[in-house]
Structure 1
Amino acid sequence: MNFFTIKTSWSNAEFILIKLCMASAYILIGSCFHDFFENHYSVLIGVFIITAIWFVYQWLKKMKSHSDIPY
């Protein structure tokens, strides 16, 4: 199975999860260099973990539903 040739259809609502996941990771990384976000580590880590798990679940569910379609 070639990972780069798999085609899926994603709605804009499904991209919200990956955007939240990446945004929280960027803020978390940026907070290591700035004291403004220092008090919000637990919230940022929580948002990142929840959205990462949710995104992977959605991605695996979508890949599994499309795996039985012959190319």
Structure 2
Amino acid sequence: MNFFKIKTCWSNAEFILIKLCMASAYILVGSYFHDFFKDYYTALLVVFGFTVIWFVYQWLKKMKA
């Protein structure tokens, strides 16, 4: 399988979504162990869910093209 040799045509702006998605997941995991982010669970889950759905949609659209 040549998974690592696949070339994509993603722009830097499109990578912002996966970065936001991963960052919100990291903060969620970190906030589970720290009380500082306790008040932001809902906002972080909304950002994470929105960016996951948007990123997967764009990924599937690019894979079909």
Question: Shared topology, TM-score over 0.5?
Answer: yes
Alignment gaps of 5+ in structure 1: 66-71
Q: What's the CA shift for 1:3?
A: 6.9
**d(CA) in 2 for partners of 1:23, 1:3:** 28
Query: TM-score, normalization: structure 2?
Result: 0.92
- Name segments (4+ residues, structure 1) moved above 4 Å: none
Deviation of 1:8 after TM superposition, in Å, equals 1.1
Structure 2 portions without partners, runs of 5+: none
Aligned residues: 64
- The percent identity for this pair of structures is 73
2:37 equivalent to 1:46: no
Q: CA RMSD in A?
A: 1.2
- Structure with higher Rg: it is 1
| TM-score (normalised: structure 1) | 0.84
